[in-house]
Structure 1
Amino acid sequence: MSRHVPSWPCVIESLFAADLSAKFAYYGRLTLGDVTSNGFYLLRRSSCPFPVLEDIFRLKLCPLEPIYVVNFGDADQTHNDECMESKLAAFEAARKSMRRESQLRGIRVSDATIDAWLQLKFGHLQYDPVLVGHLNVLKAQLSAIEHRGQCRSPIPGTVEASKIASRAQFLGVFVARQLSGPDSTNSGGGLDQRLELHLHEIKTKIETSVVSLGMLKLGSYLERALMFKALADQIGLPAALVRGTYGRSWIEIAVPKMENAAEANEDTQQHRRRSSRPIIDLCDKFLPTRYLRENYVVDLMDEPGRLMPIDGLEAKVYCSGGKPVDTAIGCAKIRE
């Protein structure tokens, strides 16, 4: 198709930009510039065809594999009475419609299942309180450490270069702490077995396979990478979410090379003498996210917060799940 329609790749990219859940399912990757929003979801294990969340609830399906949903809701927004009444009416009408449809089909669907779907669809009524709590704690801790009031860059589409590495390291530790389980020293079985049991308990409780991210108290590579990505997008930290060929998922970030003050000052003076264009001082300026290129993998499992060069052996082993890897390739090849 692209040979006959030159603009076809741009069209596909635009379509996927409007549905990052489908983009991640198709490409196995969200870039630094892909910012997740409420309602973003992914399957614990890839499947074909990719399920549409609305169809799962409409057809009363219950996939074997969990579907993780990110929903910060509108916790920071206020609504006037008229707006809230309208939303509540729509919520109640949808609930009655789903209950009536399930009865006509002879399928028993609990009120809890119906409400779970409606709460996801009408996120302004019910958000993920635990995930929102994680975000609030993270923002408060970053503000205390960085001595600043806001986490996001004041310039849309940019990031403060000097904060990328430190924030990624801090967030890596933060995420690992949230998803290490109630007893991180528990040795009764491996992580995979404990995670399976944890997910079974959650699905039994909520009677659906659609799991809000905040419900997780234990997580492996995918769960931790997803939480890192979701929180990073909320604080303006560019992060790429990647699903590899060995069933591993990981986070890639871009840390610009920082020059020392003397070299930077000399280069700046030389640049100004031969050009009228301004030069960007990385130490105290903001960089456009689109100019960044991934060069580090964030360790969220073995040594949370560690930044591993993307072409280094440690990153290759981390991304491949311990499988033998060719030292001439990096994580970029593992994910292809």
Structure 2
Amino acid sequence: MGKKAKKEAETPSKDEFDPLSIESKRADTVVLMLNSPEEVVLAKACGAICKFAEKGEENRITLMGLGAVEPLSRLISHEDQSVRRNAFMALGNMASNGDVKKLLKKLDVIPSIIARLSPEEDVVIHEFATQCLASLALDFTCKVQIFDSDALGPLIHLLSSNDPDVVKNSVECIYNLVQDVPSRVALCELNGISLLLGQLRSEFPVIQELVLRTLERITADKEARVAFREEQGLEKLLEFLTTKEYSDLHVEALQLVSNCLEDAEAMQHFQETGGLQTLLKFVMTPGLPEVQSNAVKAIAKVAQSYENRKILHEQDVEKSLMTLLAVENNRMRSATCQAVAAMSKNLTSKDTFRLLDGIKPIVQLLRSESAEVRESAAQALSSLTSGNQLNAYAVSEAEGEEALVQQIQEGSAREVAFAASVLTNMAAQEALRRNILSHGAMQTLVGPLQSKDTHLLVCVIQAVAALACDAESRTEFMTAGGLPHLLKLLHSYNTEVCRNACWAVSVCANDESTASELCKFGALEVLQDINSSTNRRNRFSGIALQKLLDNNLSAKYSLTGLLSSTDVITDGFYDPGKAQSGQRVLDLVNLSKQVINQRRPVVLVNGKPQDLRLDSPSESRATSAQSNKSGSRASSKAKHRDEDESKPQQDKEVERQGLLPWDSALCSLIAEATKSILPLQEEREQHKALAILVSGAMGGPVSAERQHELLWELHLSELKHEEQSNVILIGKIEKGTYCHRALLFKALSDKIGLCSSLVRGDYNRAWNEVLITDGTPKSPGCYPQPCKYVVDLMHSPGELMRSNSPAAVKYQCI
């Protein structure tokens, strides 16, 4: 055999490319490599991009501009694990950028990310996949898509991961998701609470904090609180609170406690396991103001429940709270005042705080430099004085009125609302109300009435209603310009604002002067509109309208056509004629300024021997005072008019100056009625005699067939031209028909103390109805029921016709 020859090397295939190591310092070159078909190149490119993105926000923006996001979003689903891992790392670092998140949402990458949360996947992929989802879950649309893609189950499963970064990112993503109710419900159904509680003992504080914040959000729902208790959550939470190692997280833990203890059952269980004593211990532990304030906030939240307040009261929590008012820490004082406000919903606690001398220091906090403290102090006082007279007096003894009025003048919306509530509570006591008014409360309340804050408006309106209990306070409010602002609130479509505005108007309308001003600003029309609406009508709108009418009888008669026996006509009453519902009833000043027209005259009653203002009763008093100062000059004018009624020019001059002339003819009729009618013993005889007197003053009896011969319309027209005014004194009418005679009868009846009503019919018809008791008592103290009669003033003056009888109906109708 010959020598064996050396084997020659195989010639390389001409299709193969020799391996090439590439190094690049340009990001755009590396981004281009993301489109390579080779796994090794893709993995290295993704790794390089990850390192570049880690260096800062500018680099992430640069990578996005170079188009790196789209290929990375594809590579996270690559079949090669190293490529997937590096692509996830790069994408996870970039996902915190807002523009990157928008692009990822557009690329619909969420399903691809969720698909990589399976247990078989690499832990690094889990870390950066959850990091991506946590960033995307901050966007509402992405949050919905993550939930709809059933991501909660895999995320909850990853809470058991051995990698802390995976756990941290998973909890953070869950926290972002449970801001919405469906996610909270789903988490409970997937047993997420148990796994979250398990992470409370994590060695990483950031995970513990995220868990506490997530549990706090979840337990906002009652069903979740039940699930929390079933998983021994209260016990684990109590253990957490008693562990000094976790003291830096006790603030967050206490916030979770306040949620869990909203249910009475949880509170009872917490007390039985010593949790309540632990909570109170935090309250009384000095040196940790943030922990203390959060413990107090927990008490405030827990005390929203009636059952919980009873338990807290049994633990003497009021005493603990009072000691905290002296702490020089604004957050603590604010939290304490809020807890006092919550506990004061318990009637016994209200008295306890007063007996512990707790009201005075709270009043002093109204002058704090901290707006938060002032607001909380006012809130506490509002609760303390609600339905408690002794506490209201205690606030006054601490000189709280001035501070509360100042707070309304200078405070924020919530400060003003609470301060106004305190004043409302205090105003129930007459003495306190006068103290409040002495500090200018009515003027101060006008400003807040222009606010847009509905809660503030309701509180301020209630304060106005509570304080406007006498003519003096109403005048102050009116002088300060409060009525237009109050009436503007009647137009509010907020039910509470409108309802309380109606209440305030009903209070302000309790005297004639304020009622007259309210009518000038259109209150009657607005209230009529409200009462005609089924949606806007409320329990106070009808009362307000009735009060206005009762104190403005001219408008009442014009709008309703009826004055009852309790509606007493006084000087200054006028009949402008029948007005339609919703129509403005002009005041006498405006009516007197009108040029003479063809309409029926306005009939005025003024039997008082002195001048009356046209403007309003309050102005009348002011004019009276002015006349007293001017002395004999005004008296001589009145006397001159009394002596010579044939001088209409002087009357016109008086009217031009805003004064009413004296109706001497009416005064004579009043004197005659007083002299001749009052001595009569029988009611029937009194009404009959008065009817004859009225008929004689206005043209005497007129038969039904010859009414046309009375010529009353011509007579009134002559009077209007003689006086150069549409306003005619009733005493000057010598030819009057039904409506004039009925008005005169009513006016004279009211002057001499007889009872009669005035009813307006159609076509100038009007009549008076009187109640007369017929017969004698059947037995001592047993009188027959009075009967209603219509008084004839036209045809057979003095005849009394039984109401609804044919004769009465014929008298009332044409």
Q: Same fold (TM over 0.5)?
A: yes
Query: Are the structure 2 counterparts of residues 25 and 112 from structure 1 closer, same or farther at C-alpha, using a change threshold of 3 Å?
Result: same
- Aligned counterpart, 2:576: 43
| Cα displacement (A) at 1:5 | 1.6
In structure 1, the gaps of 5 or more residues are 92-109, 147-162, 269-280, 284-291, 322-336
Aligned pair partner of 2:736 in 215, 219, 233: 219
Give the SS at the match of 1:295.
Answer: strand
Give the whole-Å Cα distance in 1 for the aligned partners of 2:652 and 2:570: 23
Which one of the candidate residues 617, 622, 628 is aligned to 1:84? 628
User: Residue 240 of structure 1 aligns with which residue?
Assistant: 757
Higher strand share: 1
1:174 aligned to 2:685?
no
Q: Which amino acid aligns with 2:555?
A: A
Matched-pair contact (CA < 8 Å) for 2:596–2:720: no
| Counterpart-to-counterpart distance in 2, 1:185 and 1:303 | 8
Q: Which residue of 1 aligns with 2:368?
A: none
- Number of the residue aligned with 1:6: 539
Q: Deviation at 1:142?
A: 2.2
Aligned partners of 1:23, 1:319: CA distance in 2, in Å? 20
CA pair 87-22 structure 1, distance change in 2 beyond 3 A: farther
Residue aligned with 1:201, SS: helix
Q: Which runs of 4+ in 1 moved over 6 A?
A: 79-82, 87-91
2:627 and 2:714 mapped to 1: Cα distance?
A: 41
- Give the one of 596, 620, 626 matched to 1:62: 596
Structure 1 CA distance for aligned equivalents of residues 696 and 634 of structure 2: 39
**Distance change (3 Å), C-alpha of 1:216 and 1:56:** same
Q: How many Å separate the matches in 2 of 1:213 and 1:252?
A: 20
Which residue does the alignment assign to 1:251? 768
The residue type paired with residue 57 of structure 1 is S
Report what 1:197 is aligned to: 714
Asked if the contact 2:770–2:788 (Cα under 8 Å) also holds between the matched residues in 1, the reply is yes
Give yes or no for the alignment of 1:138 onto 2:673. yes
Q: Give the deviation of 1:84 after TM superposition.
A: 2.2
The residue that corresponds to 1:27 in the other structure is: 560
Give the counterpart letter for 1:315 in structure 2. A
Q: 2:779: which partner in 1?
A: 264
Partner-residue secondary structure (3-state), 2:736 = coil
The answer for the alignment partner of 1:231 in structure 2 is 748
Match of residue 549, structure 2, among 16, 39, 47: 16
| Cα distance change of structure 1 residues 52 and 165 upon mapping to structure 2, 3 Å threshold | same
* Secondary structure, aligned partner of 2:768: strand
Say whether the 8 Å CA contact 1:44–1:222 is kept in structure 2. Answer: no
Partner Cα separation in structure 2 for residue 308 and residue 228 of structure 1: 16
Match in the other structure for 1:158 = none
1:252 Cα deviation after fit: 0.6
In the TM superposition, residue 247 of structure 1 has moved relative to its aligned partner by: 3.4
Change (3 A) 1:130 1:191: farther
Q: Give the Cα separation in 2 of the matches to 1:15 and 1:24.
A: 12
Deviates more, 1:171-180 or 1:193-202: 193-202
CA contact under 8 A between 1:130 and 1:214: conserved in structure 2?
Answer: yes
Which residue is 1:53 aligned to? 588
Cα distance in 2, alignment partners of residues 33 and 80 from structure 1: 27
Matched AA of 1:16: L
Distance 2:680 2:556 in 1: 35
**Equivalent pair of 2:561/2:578 in contact (CA under 8 Å):** no
Separation of aligned partners in 2, 1:90 and 1:174: 32
Q: 1:87 to 1:7 in 2, by over 3 A?
A: farther
1:55 is displaced (CA, Å) by 1.2
CA contact (8 A) 1:222 1:249 kept: yes
In the alignment, does 2:807 pair up with 1:314? Answer: yes
Write the deviation string for residues 207-266 of structure 1: whole angstroms up to 9, x where unpaired. 111100010111110111011000000011111111113431100111134434xx223x
* Rg comparison, structure with higher value: 2
1:16 Cα deviation from its structure 2 partner: 0.6
Distance change (3 Å), C-alpha of 1:113 and 1:258 = same
- Alignment equivalent of 2:662, drawn from 113, 127, 131: 127
| TM-score of the superposed pair, with normalisation by structure 1 | 0.65
Superposition deviation, residue 116 in structure 1: 3.0
Judged with a 3 Å threshold, the aligned counterparts in structure 2 of structure 1 residues 57 and 81 are, in CA distance, closer, same or farther, namely closer
Distance 2:686 2:665 in 1: 21
What is the CA RMSD across the aligned residues, in angstroms? 3.4
- Shift of residue 29, structure 1, vs aligned partner: 0.7
Distance change in 2, residues 1:185/1:232 (3 Å): closer
Name the aligned partner's letter for residue 61 of structure 1.
V
Distance in 2 (alpha carbons) for counterparts of 1:293 and 1:19: 29
Letter matched to residue 70 of structure 1:
V
Q: Is 2:630 the counterpart of 1:113?
A: no
Q: Amino acid of the residue matched to residue 317 of structure 1?
A: K
Deviations along 1:163-184, one digit per CA (max 9) or x if unpaired, are 4322111111111111116xx7
Q: 1 CA distance for matches of 2:765 and 2:626?
A: 47
> 1:252·1:294 contact (CA, 8 Å) conserved in 2?
no
The CA distance in 1 between the partners of 2:551 and 2:596, in whole Å, is 26
- The separation in 1 between residues aligned to 2:741 and 2:595, in whole angstroms, is 26
Distance 1:254 1:206, change over 3 A: same
- CA distance in structure 2 between the aligned counterparts of 1:67 and 1:192, rounded to whole angstroms: 23
In structure 2, relative to structure 1, the CA distance for the partners of 1:117 and 1:259 (3 Å cut) is farther
Unpaired runs of 5+ residues, structure 2, are: 1-529, 611-622, 636-648
Deviation at 1:111, TM superposition (A): 7.1
In the TM superposition, residue 51 of structure 1 has moved relative to its aligned partner by 2.8
Q: Which secondary structure state, in structure 1, belongs to the residue aligned with residue 666 of structure 2? A: helix
Q: Deviation at 1:143? A: 4.7
Q: Number of matched residues?
A: 252
Whether contact under 8 Å (2:768, 2:790) holds in the other structure is yes
Residues 591 and 726 in structure 2, CA contact (< 8 A), matched pair in contact too: no
